[in-house]
Amino acid sequence: MEISVKRTVFLEAINLVGHAINPLNPKTILTGAKVQANENGLTFLATDDSLAIQTQIIPDENNRLEVTEKGSIVINTHILSELLRRMNSEQIQIVTTDEDLLRVSGSDGNYDLICQSAYKYPAVALDRPENHFVLPAKFFKAIERHVVYAAADKNTRQVLLGVNIEIDGEKFIATATDAFRMASFKTDYPSEQTIRMTITPSFAKEIARSVPEDQDIDVYADKRRIMVTYDHTMIQSPLIEGTFPDVHSIIPVDPKAHLKIKASDLIGMLNRSLIYTSKKSTLGSVVPVEMACSESGVNMRVLSSQIGSCREVFNNVEYTGDEFTFAFNAQLMLQALNALDLEGDVELFILNELRPIRISNPKNDELTMVVVPIRQY
């Protein structure tokens, strides 16, 4: 392989596919990215056996790519990225002097890197799944910002490890839950298709990170995998099998009480409560925050047998409905509040002491968060 290309363009390509590389992958060949040069340009491919990213550089005036000799090699994207980032050359030449040796040349000098032979790289199925639809990239930005946090880290029900996407002809709904809390993003999206699938959080994060927010993307999916394409880039991931639970049925529809409180006051109290409730201050059990609500005000307290106690009273609130006292995990509540991007007030809708609490941003009806109270007896 022998090519000449603009340094920043090549650097951008290897950084992009590098997102799919796990440096601790037991398959040594997958700790690098495959680079192939032919008459059509350069193709970069990386996978961790789950997430796969492929991008291409097609010769044009901007990238100034010239392919003198065809070939392929597997590179260490981290090392090559660091080298290119520190070079000053605008144009670089890359030559494979052997099947596992690569030379990078520029005005700075010549640099040799030991690589891996491309013939060892496994074949990756990149044919497009049969169902096609178009989505705004901003939907994945919203999923990454507001929904992914609620997916389970570990669970015997594999489907709870992902984010469920539902398109019903009128709405786009993305939901995640770990059975202790739920996050949902719901927005208008007219479509002729009905789609239900569960994607991995890493896939959602990669789309959010890689694709400009104002761009529409082509999405291809079947029962097993999902693929997104934009420009000359493809990102692919397996779907998570299983039936996602009907978590929207747990959202209080006819709450018995409604609380509106200044978000900064509630977040401030919960941040202070972490001194008493964090894992570092306990022996492993969750120390709950107790909230007593009535029309006369809101009282919150934490009692820790190891640290002590804290109490705060909030009088500048709006509360209507029955009196309730319930407890919850401060960390889960804080994560929900942070995901709402609150600037003013936050609303809590309460059904009873043990039913899930709905948390909403009154300025954004596309987002719904739910936290399940902690039983104290």
> Would you list the domain boundaries of the chain?
2-120, 131-226+236-247, 251-371
CA 110/CA 105 separation, integer angstroms: 4
Residue 47 pLDDT grade (very low, low, confident, very high; cuts 50, 70, 90): very high
Predicted pLDDT of residue 375 = 79
Specify whether the CB–CB gap between 190 and 364 falls below 8 A: no
Predicted pLDDT of residue 279 = 59
Residue 283 pLDDT grade (very low, low, confident, very high; cuts 50, 70, 90): very low
Looking at the chain, the whole-number percentage of residues with pLDDT higher than 70 is: 97
Concatenating the DSSP letter of every residue in 144-186 gives HHHTGGGS-SS-SSGGGGSEEEEE-SSEEEEEEE-SSEEEEEE
C-alpha pair distances (Å), 139 with each of 66, 170, 262, 360: 37, 15, 28, 19
Predicted pLDDT of residue 126 = 93
Residue 285 pLDDT grade (very low, low, confident, very high; cuts 50, 70, 90): low
Specify whether the CB–CB gap between 369 and 339 falls below 8 A: yes
Predicted pLDDT of residue 336 = 95
SS3 88: coil
CA 178/CA 180 separation, integer angstroms: 5
Q: How many residues does the chain have?
A: 377
Inter-helix orientation angle 330-339/263-277, to 10°: 150
Domain 2-120, CATH class in plain words: alpha beta
| Residue at 160: amino acid letter | L
CA 366/CA 137 separation, integer angstroms: 16
Predicted pLDDT of residue 278 = 66
Q: Is the confidence at residue 282, as pLDDT, over 50?
A: no
Bigger pLDDT: 353 vs 18? 18
Q: Is the confidence at residue 16, as pLDDT, over 50?
A: yes
Residue 194 pLDDT grade (very low, low, confident, very high; cuts 50, 70, 90): confident
Check for a shared fold between 131-226+236-247 and 251-371. Answer: yes
Residue 376 pLDDT grade (very low, low, confident, very high; cuts 50, 70, 90): low
Helices (H), the chain: 7-17, 77-86, 137-146, 201-210, 263-277, 330-339
Q: Is the confidence at residue 351, as pLDDT, over 70?
A: yes
pLDDT in tens, 103-129: 999 999 999 999 999 998 999 999 999
| Farthest CA pair distance, the chain | 79
Which residues lie across from 229 on neighbouring strands?
A: 218, 234
Count Cα atoms within 13 angstroms, Cβ side, for 377. 3
**pTM score:** 0.89
- Residues whose CB falls within 8 Å of the CB of residue 284, separated by 6 or more in sequence, listed in order: none
SS3 122: coil
Looking at the chain, the whole-number percentage of residues with pLDDT higher than 90 is: 75
Specify whether the CB–CB gap between 234 and 206 falls below 8 A: no
Q: Which CATH number fits domain 251-371: 3.10.150.10, 1.10.540.10, 3.40.640.10, 3.30.1330.40?
A: 3.10.150.10
CA 224/CA 237 separation, integer angstroms: 9
CA 173/CA 166 separation, integer angstroms: 5
Would you say the C-alpha torsion 118, 121, 123, 127 has a positive or negative sign?
negative
Which superfamily does CATH assign the domain made up of 131-226+236-247 to? DNA Polymerase III, subunit A, domain 2 (3.10.150.10)
SS3 336: helix
Specify whether the CB–CB gap between 205 and 149 falls below 8 A: no
pLDDT in tens, 139-181: 999 999 999 999 998 877 899 999 999 998 899 999 999 989 9
Residue 75 pLDDT grade (very low, low, confident, very high; cuts 50, 70, 90): very high
pLDDT in tens, 293-338: 988 889 998 887 778 888 999 888 899 998 999 999 989 999 999 9
